[in-house]
Chains A and B, each alone.
Chain A
Amino acid sequence: MTDGMFGANGTGDTSGYGGLVRKASAAGSSERPYGGYFDDVADDLERAYPDFADAIERVVVDRGEITLHVKREKLVEVALILRDTLKFEMCMGVNGVHYPEQTGRELHAVYPLLSMTKNQRIRLEVSVADADAHIPSLVEVWAGNNWHERETFDMFGIIFDGHPGLTRILMPDDWEGHPQRKDYALGGIAVEYKGATTPPPSERRSYK
């Protein structure tokens, strides 16, 4: 996307510091103590769920938020324990993130959970391969996830197994492709105004 409006073929960096590349990497696994109520959540879950070590791939504490990376086979079990024993009564839905460079785990599904009883928030994250984009549905656990899962399917193509009616929700039923994926172009048309043409946003020079 660097060859766009100004014909820049390199990085498009005009600052003179083109050599300085800041590598964007996701936060790695966190070590205990996590701080705040996060240790309590982890302890309670470990106590209530014997398979903890197997089911939770890693725990990330970043910017005051805790993320539990859960294996997809164990997702429903973990969700039930979190709901019934740890009192995370509400799931604030699910949203997808597409990381094409993470080979073998390109598609992530992120579930923000809320406990009104304890006034706590945690996040579950499940990652699957693009070629095998199946995640068990949590509609049986939190009925409100119904539309959120449909939206995530619509936008990313993640198939939620066991969903009562996994159809497109925002895009038309006969739409091809899943628009929020990174390999799906934004589209758009060039706009001409007073003789100058502005290319569509996805073809303009990209800064990174």
Chain B
Amino acid sequence: MTTFDPYAPSRDTTEGKVFSVTGGDWDALVQDIGATKEERVVVNMGPQHPSTHGVLRLVLELEGETVTEARCGIGYLHTGIEKNMEYRNWTQGTTFVTRMDYLGPLHNETAYCLAIEKLLGITDDVPERASVIRVMMMELNRISSHMVALGTGALELGAMGPMFFAFRDRETVLEIFEMITGLRMNMAYIRPGGVQQDLPEGALSKIRDGVKLMRKNFKDNATLLIGNSIWMKRTQGIGYLDLAGCTTLGITGPVLRSTGMPWDLRKVQPYCGYENYNFDVVTADTCDVYGRFLIRMNELEQSLRIIEQCVDKLEKLEGAPVMVADKKIAWPAQLAMGGDGLGNSLDHIRQIMGTSMESLIHHFKLVTEGFHVPAGQAYVAIESPRGELGASVVSDGGTRPYRVHFREPSFNNLQATAAMSEGGMVADIIGAVASIDPVMGGVDR
């Protein structure tokens, strides 16, 4: 036989035919592996992974445990909010924007409403009480958002205790939200021209009690984490991003402030009267996960300070209006709090149904059609818990937005994942992403 079998060449011996099985091109294959020194593995992390902070997909190229490339896959939570808003009137838009960054609903609403007010030219007509309520609600919201950032961030790094404390304290804020707006999240409470309704009776004393309680409770997480050797090792020097990196990537918020840059829009470009409050801009100079953690911890106290000042102001402004005086813009229905939660105002219904045809027409027109917003575009940026939240709003003069776009800090900051984690260990990606604190509802909109 002269045919050659590459997998089992044979030779004749005195004992008979002997086959030596080599397995084809294994020699060449083994040699090739030896030539490339690396051992690269591509790992898909997410979108359904408990520590990717929501439906975030990370495509990681690993060499052993070292990350050589990190790419983000997003879009799993895209709901077309910006498109939908073009088919609803301006006021209805608040119900949409509140659902974007679901941990900072009041910031979304405020940015959107400030942009509409800028287009309408009524920025200065918004009553002071409404602005103070907005500031107070936003600062409460900042606390509840930071609580989730701290709690889930710690949980993702393997520390369960801080999560319990954080969610306990967040509950205090959510109860206040529920009392004031009727809802714990997605409230659509802030409306163009003011807020949806005034504070209910007993709200201010509940807030005072809540502030006192939170100030005491916040110490729990601080004592649990600050100085804890495991926590320090998992966060210090991890997820490094310096000022140059932040500027070129457009990073704002706690990540930018962790480079030592005291950039906080509440201070440098005040809105809603933030210039009238005493508070400090918290910074760190470590550029790492630990610095961002410390900033969030310390911002809690600054938020409490602002809330206390708001409560003092609101006590003096008791009974002042919370919506612009212009009845062509102000939402007509004054709601009343019934025994079972929100309800219609019987006085208002009596007036439009029983006494005034014009009121009925006006109510009907404003609710179904909405108000006209003069043509033009505006960009309003506020400091959300995650950084600069910008609302780009375009009107064509109609009763619906022509185009609304949100410059979401989560969306932008998530781009820093690669810069923060490439070259590090795979376990440190978790800490880096958690320190960006992306909210996927805001990223994908």
Q: Which residues of A are in contact with B by a Cβ distance under 8 Å? A: 15, 22-27, 62-65, 67, 89-93, 95-98, 110, 112, 114, 116, 119, 121, 123, 142-148, 151, 155, 168-172, 179-180, 186, 201-202, 204, 206-208
Contacts and interface: CB of A to CB of B under 8 A. Distances in A.
B249 interface: yes
A90 B250 contact: yes
B396 interface: yes
Contacts of B46: none
Contacts of A168: 75
For chain A, what secondary structure do more than half of its interface residues adopt (helix, strand, loop), or is it mixed? Answer: loop
For chain B, what secondary structure do more than half of its interface residues adopt (helix, strand, loop), or is it mixed? Answer: mixed
Contacts of B87: 186, 201-202, 204
Contacts of A155: 82
Interface of B: 74-75, 78, 80, 82-84, 86-89, 118-119, 121, 247-252, 261, 263, 268-269, 365, 368-370, 372, 375-379, 381, 388, 390, 392, 394-400, 402-403, 405, 407, 411-412, 414-415, 444-445
A95 B407 contact: yes
Given A62-B376, A65-B379, A180 B83 contact: yes
Nearest to B379: A112
Given A116-B261, A119-B268, A186-B83, A172 B411 contact: no
B250 A24 contact: no
A19 B195 CA distance: 34
A146 B376 contact: no
Nearest to A13: B369
A58 to B, nearest CB: 14
11 contacts: A15-B365, A64-B118, A97-B394, A112-B379, A112-B392, A123-B379, A148-B412, A170-B445, A172-B75, A201-B88, A207-B369
A142 B250 contact: yes
A64 B377 CA distance: 11
Given A63-B119, A186-B87, A92 B397 contact: no
B75 A110 contact: no
Contacts of A172: 75
A207 B379 contact: no
B399 A110 contact: no
Contact of A110 (B119, B365, B377): B377
Contact of A91 (B121, B250, B263): B250
A90 B247 CA distance: 6
Contacts of A169: 74-75
Nearest to A146: B415
B400 A207 contact: yes
A142 B397 CA distance: 33
Contacts of B74: 169-170
Contact of B378 (A63, A92, A95): A63
A92 B390 contact: yes
Contacts of A95: 392, 403, 405, 407
Contacts of A24: 375, 395-398
Contacts of A143: 248-249, 415
